[in-house]
Amino acid sequence: MDHEPNRLLRGLASLVVRRAVWVLAAWLVVAGAVNLAVPQLEEVVARDSTPVVPLDADSSRAVSLMDREFGSGRSHSFLVVLAEREGGLTRADVRYVEGLVPRLSADTENVSFVQDVRDDQVREALTSDDGEAVYLQVGIPGFTGAPSAIQQVEHVREVVRDGAPDGLDLLVTGPSATVSDMAVEAESSILVITLVTIGLIFALLLLIYRRLSVALIILGTVGLSLGVARGLTAWLGLHGVFDVSTFTGSFLTAIVLGAGTDYAIFLVSRYHEQRRLGVPARTAASYAAGRVSAVIIGSALTVVLANACMLVAELGVYTTTGPAIAVSVTATLLVSITLLPAMLALLGPRGLFEPRPASTGAGGWARLAALAVHRRVPMALAALVPLVALAALMPTMEPSYDTRGIQPEDTESNRGYDTLARHYPVNEVLPEYVLVSSDHDMRNARDLATLEQAASAAARTPGVALVRSVTRPDGEAIDQARVSYQAGVIGRRLRRAGDEVASGTEGARTLADGSAQVDEGAEELAAGADQAVEGAGMLVTALEELRSGLTRLESGADEAVAGTGELRAGARMLAVGLDAAYSQTRTAVDGLGMALDALESSLPCTLDPICRQARDGVREVYEGERDQLLPGLRDAAAAARQVAEGSGDLQTGLRQLDDGLEQARAGVEEITAGQRQFRQRLDELADGTEQLAEGTGRVAAGTSEVAGSVGDLEGGLGEAADYLTSTAERADTSAMGGFYLPPSALADDRFAAASRLFISPDGRTARIAVLGTDDAFSSAAAERSTQVRQVIENSLRDSRLQDADVVTTGMASANADLAAIEARDFRLIVAVALLTVFVILLVLLRSVVAAVFLLATVVLSYASAVGLGVLVFQWILDEPLEWSVPSLAFILLVAVGADYNLLLTKRMQEEAPDGSRAGIARAAAATGGVITAAGVIFAASMFALMAGSVDSLVQTGFVIGAGLLIDTFVVRTMLVPAVAAMLGPRLWWPRRRAPRPTVAPVDAAPQTSSR
């Protein structure tokens, strides 16, 4: 006997059967309300702004930084507007392109930045060498991949084409346009996918039930589920409960149609079992709903929680898909356990749900189940060998991040890339930007040289075709700043100097004669310096005696005041002595003044520091004698004469005499000190002049030799010029050449133009553009972007920019961030989803062994499906799997695979609670047709994704569909029954063994049919 169903579920089943009309009416009202009162899902998706790459990723931060420093501060994505005319752009074409600048700039809602091609230098830089194409960059406020950005891309395309000259091909391309085109293609595929899915499901339902009414009723119920799910998802997305994207609709449609059909098959199959036993339609509907609802709830709960796990991810493709699928499956679950039983109760009595007659004898599923149970090991090995072989291919997967390659070749962005490739260097509009941010202004020679070293290091990185920066705006270092250029200039100037030397032989002879005269003068100067030293010594001695005499005179003057008897005669003698001293001193002072004038007019003395110091000492002596000594002697002599002649007041004369002698004595002391210093300086001067004489002698000899060897000098200059010129040629490479930009060059107009493109207005952020040799969307480009960043960081070490912040952005950098974040998301999703599914299985089965076993089978099924995808797409078709395929496939295959195994295992618990092989065989035979039908239908709905025009949908549909078929025909049919039979009662550990069920007939007594 079957186990008793849950009382709550049994009560719910009874209620919906009794109130079938009301249930149908209620669901029709709900479906109408959520679709009429709420905007359609596509409209809600269009309002979303979720980026593909999270805003906190390095590449996203770099975009914001670059826009803030070089753009408008409002741009989050960039487009490229390309104009092309075969044969060359006309004047009208150029005027039209220039006119796009104000037209696009006027729309501040959809456009945030427009590159001003009206500037002649900018336009020339953006025009192709053949003159047939020109492009400009346009910034938009939407984030790349967000639905809002998609609308802005379309708006720019409309403005660009409006009024274009005939024959001018205008295309909008670039990374944001590429992602936009992919999303538009995916969205346009929804209708095709829906129609293909419905067609496949309808065909399979007809094949299974052979009754049109059953197929139509099931499709109608599932269609209502889809309507409710879309409306509910749109309402939640509109109110910000979770985000939605262009991929939401595609996956939601396929999964709801597949899951809803599966749930209907589960219910209808159990209903048909009861009807074949003769149970009335309404009773069979109530019985089937009460028994199967638990399985449907468990199955749906697995899918819901597994998809809800995507909320822990960072990438928008997961956060906008997982929650929407979870909500949609929840809505499908509610419709399945309420509306479908009501439809069975309403239409069953009218014969619209009658089953086909049961086949007599053992069916195919019974024979296959018996084989799996009785030949356990061979069947298990037959299943495991191909599964493990396919799973072994999974580690060889090389995920693709090429959003350009997964969409049709005729999208506008792809046509734009093809056009650019015909006229511009590779990756012209898809460079990697490296931003170097410092805490100071980098517009100085030292930092610019460091930036050039960084650019040069990046240019030497394998896979880099061209590097542009402030020091190399056209891809090559500024000529005038290269050491090779400067060496060449010096070499050419030396050659001209050699020519001038060759024509200056007579001047060299004149130089020799002049140097001889200098030598003679130096010898005379040395002799005069020796005499000056001797005279200075004598002068010091005389001054010492003079000071001593003046001291005695001053003492005598003091005594004269007390004794005036002998005053007149002594005063007369004193006046005569003072007059003689004044006359001799005056002669010495005049001679010293002439010597000072000669020293001050001497250029060699001015250049020689020792001579300059000696001259300063002479000046001090001269000024002291002139201003103090001579006036003191003169005043003292006059006062003595007044005393001698008696013409004047004696007291006044003595006082004047005393004051004069005091002034004279002070002057003599100062002069004596200065004279000592002067003598010391003259000693040094004498030594210097002797060295000068010796040196000028050598100069005279040397210049004579120069006059005789001008030819040798000319040859030497020629050799130096040749060497520097050849050095310039050898050093004319980025790896060999140095870099020096003098401060005067910073004001040059050409540097100013480059500065605006590659240096922020405050000079603290530098931008380096790196163009690769391969596809910017490839994995190799993503890896190279990381390598370039590391190379530049290393080149900044041990410089003033070693603490600068270095970030990269561009298509390759975004893909590198995408790869790193996706790897983290995948690990997190796998861990959370496996734990969630394990808990669900553990709760429903109450067996650790069964839960672990079933979880292992679905993981193996998933790995083999991905391995099959790698084999088909990567190895055979040479199209690597798109990066999101493994994660999306994991969630659905684990969840749906667990559903099917759960349905089988629950039936095993009913048929073989003691682990008997016969019970396991009965359960496998009873559910074989149902699970196979459900698996095939769900796989068909996934295969319908292959009708889309985007490769990511095609690959996802193939991998999930193939995985469902593997799970249906290999795992569920062969592996699970064989291993369950091996485990026997241990399968239910630690659950206590239940008694073997006794088969009792289901009450088939006729009952009164009601509508």
Has residue 705 got a pLDDT over 60? no
Residue 997 within a domain: no
What count of Cα atoms within 13 Å lies in the side-chain half-sphere of residue 829?
A: 28
Interval 200-254: pLDDT, tens: 999 999 998 888 999 999 999 999 999 999 999 999 998 989 888 877 888 898 8
Residue 898 has pLDDT above 50, yes or no: yes
Domain boundary among 767, 788, 809: 809
Q: What is the CATH number of the domain that holds 408?
A: 1.20.1640.10
- pLDDT band with cut points at 50, 70 and 90 for residue 1001: very low
**548 and 662 in one domain?**
yes
* Final residue of a structural domain among 339, 355, 371: 355
Give the pLDDT score at 731. Answer: 44
Average pLDDT, stretch 31-57?
85
Count up the domains in the chain and report the number. Answer: 5
984 pLDDT above the threshold of 70: yes
Q: Which of 49-63, 875-889, 975-989 has the lowest mean pLDDT?
A: 49-63
Residue 23 has pLDDT above 90, yes or no: yes
Residue 513 pLDDT more than 70? no
Helices (H), 460-504: 483-502
Spatial distance between the Cα atoms of 842 and 93, rounded to a whole number of angstroms:
70
Condensed to tens digits (0 to 9), the pLDDT of residues 708-761 reads 555 555 555 565 556 555 545 544 444 334 555 565 556 666 566 667 789 998
Q: How do residues 183-193 score in pLDDT, each as one tens digit?
A: 889 888 888 98
The pLDDT of residue 647 is 44
Convert the pLDDT of each residue in 615-659 to its tens digit: 676 676 667 667 766 776 677 667 667 656 654 455 565 566 566
Above 90 in pLDDT, residue 299? Answer: no
Mean pLDDT of the chain: 81
Count how many Cα atoms sit within 13 Å of the Cα of residue 414 in the half-sphere of its side chain: 13
Note whether 75 and 274 are within 8 A (CB): no
Give residue 482's pLDDT.
59
In a domain, 52, yes or no: no
Q: Is 997 helix (H, G, I), strand (E, B) or coil?
A: coil
Mean pLDDT throughout 767-775?
Answer: 91
Among candidate residues 504, 442, 525, 312, the one with its CA nearest the CA of residue 768: 442
In 10 A of CB 22, how many CB atoms? 12
Say what the pLDDT of residue 737 is.
Answer: 41
Residue 275 clears pLDDT 70, i.e. is over it: yes
Query: Do residues 632 and 545 share a domain?
Result: yes
Asked whether residue 199 is domain-assigned, the answer is: no
Residue 442's pLDDT is: 92
**Among 355, 371, 399, residue at a domain's last position:** 355
Residue 114, in any domain of the structure = yes
**Residue 998: inside a domain, yes or no?**
no
Could you tell me which residues are beta bridge partners of residue 739? 482
Same domain, 247 and 350: yes
Percent with pLDDT over 70 in the chain? 71
The reply to whether 391 and 525 lie within a common domain is no
Contact yes or no for 634/582 (Cβ under 8 A): yes
Picking from 58-67, 532-541, 634-643, 830-839, which range would have the lowest pLDDT averaged per residue?
Answer: 532-541
**What mean pLDDT do residues 571-595 have?**
67
- Residue 772, SS3 per DSSP: strand
Identify whether residues 148 and 257 lie together within a single domain.
Answer: no
User: Residue 815 CA to chain centroid, in angstroms?
Assistant: 10
Buried b (16+ CB within 10 A) or exposed e, 178-217: bbbbbbbbbbebbeebbebbbebbbebbeebbebeebbeb
pLDDT (0 to 100) of residue 735: 37
In this predicted structure, what is the pLDDT of residue 1003?
39
In a domain, 156, yes or no: yes
Is residue 5 domain-resident?
Answer: no
Residue 726 sits in a domain whose CATH number is: 1.10.287.950
Distance of CA 585 to the CA centre of its chain: 88
Same domain, 800 and 852: no
Element (H, E) at 770: strand 765-772
Does one domain contain both 640 and 629?
yes
Instruction: Write the pLDDT tens digit of every residue in 49-91.
Output: 778 788 888 888 898 898 888 877 888 889 999 999 999 999 9
Highest mean pLDDT pick, 48-52, 669-673, 817-821: 817-821
pLDDT of the residue at 648: 46
Do 346 and 383 fall into the same domain? no
Specify whether 801 is located in the same domain as 819: no
Is 160 a member of any domain?
yes
Max mean pLDDT range (685-689, 772-776, 989-993): 772-776
Of residues 83 and 540, which shows the higher confidence score? 83
- Model pTM score: 0.72
Question: Is 253 found in the same domain as 369?
Answer: no
Tell me, what's the pLDDT at 736?
38
Residue 885 pLDDT > 70: yes
CB 993 within 8 A of CB 985: yes
777-805 pLDDT, tens digit each: 888 999 999 999 999 999 999 899 999 99
According to the model, what pLDDT value does residue 495 have?
Answer: 62
* Mean local confidence (pLDDT), 832-839: 91
User: Does 385 lie in the same domain as 436?
Assistant: no
Structural domain span for residue 779: 431-482+738-809
Judged against a pLDDT cut of 60, whether residue 515 lies above it is answered with no
pLDDT tens readout for residues 385-412: 999 999 999 999 999 999 898 899 999 9
* Residue 671 sits in the same domain as residue 761: no
Whether residue 554 has pLDDT greater than 60: no
